[in-house]
Amino acid sequence: MKLDEIDHLLLDELQADAGRTLRELGEVVGLSPSAVQRRMDRYRASGLLARTTAVLNPKASHDLVFAVCLVAVERESSRLHEAFQRRLLAAPEVQQLYMVYGEWDYVVVLVTSGMAHHNEVAERLLTDAPNVRKYSTLFVFDPVRTGSAIPTRVLKP
């Protein structure tokens, strides 16, 4: 999908706050509400716009524990990798999951409601997993910036 300047602006605005009305979005990017809707329909149809979600403020709750877990798994089988990924994808505490190359195989971002909950989740997902060789946890003291927005200028047509 080829993107023009208005597409870049609209996608940036949607990633910043998709809860605004079509009229509000149109005023920002210089389009009518119906033109904004047509572009959004095109983004959805092409698969570029995967979903619309609500983003909660991580600082709104003082008992949240963010943790970045580095995980190394046994490399014998892609079946074991798939089982590990399914296990983590099924857990609501897993905010992000990345397969990486190097000393570690995965980066897992967990969000839990306190240290006791974190320990339970880490044991269930990592310690008890049959193919996890080792893992290391980095606890987040201050979630300075969280999010999943993708700079639209890096998208290739």
Characterize the bridge pairing of strands 65-73 and 132-139: antiparallel
Q: Which domains does the chain have, with CATH numbers?
A: 5-54 (1.10.10.10), 58-139 (3.30.70.920)
CA atoms within 13 A on the CB side of 157: 6
Tens-binned pLDDT, residue by residue, of the chain (157 aa): 899 999 999 999 999 999 999 999 999 999 999 999 999 999 999 999 999 888 888 777 778 999 999 999 987 677 888 889 999 999 999 999 999 999 999 999 999 999 999 999 999 999 988 889 999 999 999 888 888 888 888 877 5
Rounded CA-CA distance 71/137 in Å is: 9
Residue 126: phi, psi to the nearest 5? -115, -55
Kindly list the distances between the CA atom of residue 70 and the CA atoms of 45, 123, 156, in Å, as whole numbers in the listed order: 35, 14, 30
Which residue is associated with the tokens 């403020």?
57
